[in-house]
Structure 1
Amino acid sequence: MKNLPFAAQTPVSVGRVGLMARDGNRVADYYKALLGLTELRRSGNVIALGVGEREILEIEGSAALREDDPRSAGLFHTAFLLPARADLARWTRFAIDNRIPVDGASDHSVSEAVYLTDPEGNGVEIYADRPRENWTFDGGSVRMGTEALNIPNLLDELIVGDPEWKGAPDNTVIGHVHLRVGDVADAERWWNDAQRFDTMLHYGGQAVFLSSGGYHHHIGANSWRSSGAGPREADRTGLGFVELLSKNASAESASRDPWGSEIRVIPAA
């Protein structure tokens, strides 16, 4: 698809995220209402959601799963990248008007973001990037900060007669995935070696941001609450898989990070 954000034009990008849920229907309904994602496929206990005809989120339900432990390795948040700042402004107005609970809203210099939590405790980020030419680089590192989002300024993006939020535009993508890991240095080495991702920023000693092709980050990894965590337990809710689209891959493959999180790679169309 043309006109995808820069995050999806790099040699490797995020295609889909898979979630494991105790109540798959409830979780799917949340993302449909929150972002206007469309149900594109349903097979047994698996529901695939997306924009246009492109899947970006797969939810597998099983009542036998145990609740995710936020101190374990796994998913910190899935970040849905809207194509333009005006789209984020429309969604923010929609969230205010509908009293959607949010956890926070931040200006990260390279992007503006709103944070939420889905019904089963999975972190959600909805964000828009600033133009790449406005990002600041120190050598090979991108400069990212965390300041309060100026919501009035964001809403000023909307003009009289601006259309209301009607759901995520067709060129919405998952811009990045942020993972919980047991050791940030081990995570960095794995992503550098196994996926050839570049380190874009160290955030203290407990977070690292990595990417392909100069994006600010396709993958974040932190140990803020999960330091020392061992392998992820397979019968927990939360992360099912991260799927990467690679322009360099000739065949599908799958591997696991040091904590057992499944990382799939498929050839980019």
Structure 2
Amino acid sequence: MLATAEPATPALLEAHDAPFHIGAVTLRVADLPRLNAFYRDAIGLALIRESPEQAELGIDGKALVRLQAGATRPTAATGLFHLAILLPSRQALANWLRHAATTGLRLEGASDHLVSEALYLSDPEGNGIEIYRDRKRSDWPRRPDGGIAMATERLDLDRLLSDAGTAPYAGMPAGTAMGHIHLRVGDTAEAETFYRDLLGFDLMVRYPGASFLASGGYHHHIAGNIWGSRGAGARQPGEAGLESFEIVARDEADFAAMRERILAAGGRDAQDGPSIADPWNNRLVLVS
């Protein structure tokens, strides 16, 4: 099912041509200079701004990852499973893989999910990262009931590398975006109640122990699993790991509708936007 390289625009439209998509992810970290260098040099994001207390990295001046200093030791198994950076083409993914191989960056997994191809690793403080590219939506396989079919199959890394260019790696390309966020939760049914029933995301796929939800027919913008966190409780403010993530509204009407859902579910209007935390204190912020 492996495809040839695709142009930048279609891949991003799959994740972002929806009423809501994922924006910047904020991490609370213990060693800000080390994590800043990692996301810049190893991952390939550009430094947008920094101070002694925080750093902001992204593409074309748009933040994808924000790092905040002052993390305390985690007390709960819930939180971030991985943030997922979406590249605009298969060649861009191949170029990043070549960069990782050349610099000795250790991968933790490589999977063909039928709808996407993904590489997995962790940053120096254990925050999971997925770097992936989408197949065209018209090529996504379907279940007999018409729903999206996803799987976890081996990704042929040699074949992927054959699509890499020869130019020196210059960082992630224009068009790179945050594609989705995957959370560790204590209960998938409770996660579905929160993200589907309260916030209005659609349940797209269930894996054993994981639920995948999305807006606008995407394969998933938000996922939650219990693979290492079944029954775990909420995280405490300031703990290392996920501080918050953005949900980006497509237009004013979508923003107003989600804001109403957030406030009805017990959220509040905060300085950075309407905000609410799920049952495990994973906080989301609505932006436009």
User: TM-score under structure 1 normalisation?
Assistant: 0.92
2:222 pairs with 1:214: no
Matches of 2:160 and 2:74 in 1, distance apart? 34
How much has 1:177 moved relative to structure 2? 0.4
Which secondary structure state, in structure 2, belongs to the residue aligned with residue 89 of structure 1? helix
Q: Letter of the 1:61 partner, please give it.
A: A
| Residue matched to 2:243 | 240
Q: Letter of the 1:50 partner, please give it.
A: G
Q: Does the Cα contact within 8 Å between 2:46 and 2:171 map onto a contact in 1?
A: no
Q: Letter of the 1:155 partner, please give it.
A: L
- The counterpart of 1:110, out of the listed 104, 107, 115, is 115
Q: Does the Cα contact within 8 Å between 1:240 and 1:262 map onto a contact in 2?
A: yes
- The counterpart of 1:93, out of the listed 94, 98, 113, is 98
Aligned length, in residue pairs: 260
How much has 1:266 moved relative to structure 2? 1.0
Q: Does the Cα contact within 8 Å between 2:92 and 2:164 map onto a contact in 1?
A: no
- For residues 211-236 of structure 1, give each alpha carbon's deviation from its aligned partner in whole angstroms, at most 9, with x where no partner exists: 00111101110001101011112231
Q: Letter of the 1:142 partner, please give it.
A: I
* Segment of structure 1 superposing worse, 39-48 or 20-29: 39-48
| Residue matched to 2:193 | 189
Unaligned runs of 5+ in 2: 1-7, 260-272
How much has 1:44 moved relative to structure 2? 4.4
Q: Does the Cα contact within 8 Å between 1:201 and 1:209 map onto a contact in 2?
A: yes
Matches of 1:194 and 1:265 in 2, distance apart? 14
Which secondary structure state, in structure 1, belongs to the residue aligned with residue 255 of structure 2? coil
Which secondary structure state, in structure 2, belongs to the residue aligned with residue 226 of structure 1? coil
Q: Letter of the 2:35 partner, please give it.
A: V
| Residue matched to 1:203 | 207
| Residue matched to 2:4 | none
- The counterpart of 1:154, out of the listed 148, 156, 160, is 160
Which secondary structure state, in structure 2, belongs to the residue aligned with residue 22 of structure 1? coil
Matches of 1:5 and 1:165 in 2, distance apart? 25
Which secondary structure state, in structure 2, belongs to the residue aligned with residue 142 of structure 1? coil
Which secondary structure state, in structure 2, belongs to the residue aligned with residue 137 of structure 1? coil
Q: Letter of the 1:40 partner, please give it.
A: I
Matches of 2:195 and 2:93 in 1, distance apart? 30
Q: Does the Cα contact within 8 Å between 1:256 and 1:263 map onto a contact in 2?
A: yes
More helix by share: 2
How much has 1:140 moved relative to structure 2? 5.1
Unaligned runs of 5+ in 1: none
Which secondary structure state, in structure 1, belongs to the residue aligned with residue 114 of structure 2? coil
| Residue matched to 1:137 | 142
**Alpha carbon RMSD of aligned pairs, Å?**
1.6
Matches of 1:140 and 1:196 in 2, distance apart? 20
How much has 1:40 moved relative to structure 2? 1.0
| Residue matched to 1:226 | 229
Matches of 2:205 and 2:168 in 1, distance apart? 36
